[in-house]
Amino acid sequence: MDLKQLQYFATVAKEGNISKAAKALHISQPPLSIQLKHLEEELGCVLFERGAREVELTEAGLLLYNRALSLLELSAITVQEISDLKNQTAGTLRLGAVSSVGSTLLNAWIVDLNKEYPDIHYEIFEGNTYEQIEQLKNHTIELAIVRSPFSTNDMHVIPLRTEPMMAVGNERFFSASSDEIPLSALADKPLILYRRWEDMILSAFSKQQLSCQIFCKNEDARTTLHWADAGLGIGIVPRSAVSLIRKPDTVCKKIADAELASRICLVYHENHYLSALAKLFLNYLTTHHCKD
């Protein structure tokens, strides 16, 4: 079993049809069918259930397909990394970022870096912190910008900055005119929050013996802000995320509670190779944007 066979197999699985796969691979159908037959003989199992027009993966085929995608991706990444060694200020950096950073702070950081290193290109993988950690483990990305809390097993963590949490919503939810409000001002108000911060928020309310009413839990700061913009409740988000507010009349206030804070961290896998570009980006962030 070699990479070419895996590429052929993965293309057939994706297309669901040997004829379509042959066209996508720019080869004729008979050699493709022969390669699939050789692969099945080598593995000693049937990979496809063949119908009149389409093929479907068997259980063994599905297992191989998932592995093949990872191996093919890793092969492409390895070729790219070796190519990048030729020029340590040019190439493609594979970087992960949570949405509340990728849509705000990261933009400004990349603008600054691009002025100095215009030949660096980027592949940005957005997702929540847990998804970013998995991407690191699978070698899909080299670095990730995430928010606490998260498991640090096998991860090297560089704190970049700590942000206070902000209350965002329609002015009818707020009585104070100042830019900062106590946690008590949010008691019994309909709160909209990112699910991972639920324990932290409930703990803060509990310590002050306050009642907490959660109207909506979600997986993205942008959803929190959209709902808050719509007047459905008070969104709780980190400070940098407030730049995503759409309506000019949406109120934003800092929550005066030291425990309600979010730490932005740059993380990478301790045992994985870091390219020259990844090291350059890491050094850039820690030198210019580390404020923790």
What span, in angstroms and rounded, lies between the C-alpha atoms of 73 and 67? 10
Could you tell me if 60 and 179 lie in one domain? no
CATH of the domain at 49: 1.10.10.10
Q: How crowded is residue 206: how many other Cβ atoms within 10 Å of its Cβ?
A: 11
67 shares its domain with 183: no
Same domain, 29 and 172: no
Confidence class of residue 84 from pLDDT cuts 50, 70 and 90?
Answer: low
Whether 150 and 137 map to the same domain: the answer is: yes
Domain boundary, last residue among 33, 62, 83: 83
Pair 196, 236: CB distance under 8 Å? no
DSSP state of 239: G
Q: What is the mean pLDDT of the chain?
A: 89
Answer yes or no: is pLDDT of 289 > 90: no
> Over 90: is that where the pLDDT of 266 sits?
yes
pLDDT at 144: 95
Indicate whether 148 and 274 sit together in one domain.
yes
> What pLDDT digit, counting tens, does each position of 111-134 carry?
989 998 898 999 999 888 888 999
Same domain, residue pair 143 and 268:
yes
Give the chain's radius of gyration (CA, Å).
Answer: 24
Which residue, of 68, 83, 98, is where some domain finishes?
Answer: 83
DSSP codes joined into one string, 120-136 = EEEEEEE--HHHHHHHH
Neighbours of 273 (CB within 10 A): 11
CATH number of the domain encompassing residue 243: 3.40.190.10
Q: Is the pLDDT of residue 292 over 70?
A: no
Range of the domain at 172: 162-262
Say what the pLDDT of residue 125 is.
92
Alpha-carbon separation of residue 160 from 105, 131, 218, 259 (angstroms): 11, 20, 25, 18
pLDDT at 122: 93
The pLDDT of residue 83 is 67
Q: Per-residue pLDDT for 12 more than 80? A: yes
For the segment 149-172, the average pLDDT, to the nearest whole number, is 90
Section 237-249 average pLDDT:
89
- Alpha helices in the chain, H assignment, sequence order: 3-15, 18-25, 29-43, 59-84, 99-102, 105-116, 129-137, 198-207, 221-229, 276-288
End of a domain among 61, 83, 105? 83
Question: Residue 187 has what pLDDT?
Answer: 94
Same domain, 21 and 95: no
Please tell me whether residues 155 and 271 are part of one structural domain: yes
Q: Are residue 268 and residue 258 in the same domain, yes or no?
A: no
- Number of compact structural domains in the chain: 3
Looking at the fold, whether 92 and 123 belong to one and the same domain comes out as yes
Residue 141 sits in the same domain as residue 282? yes
Same domain, 251 and 213: yes
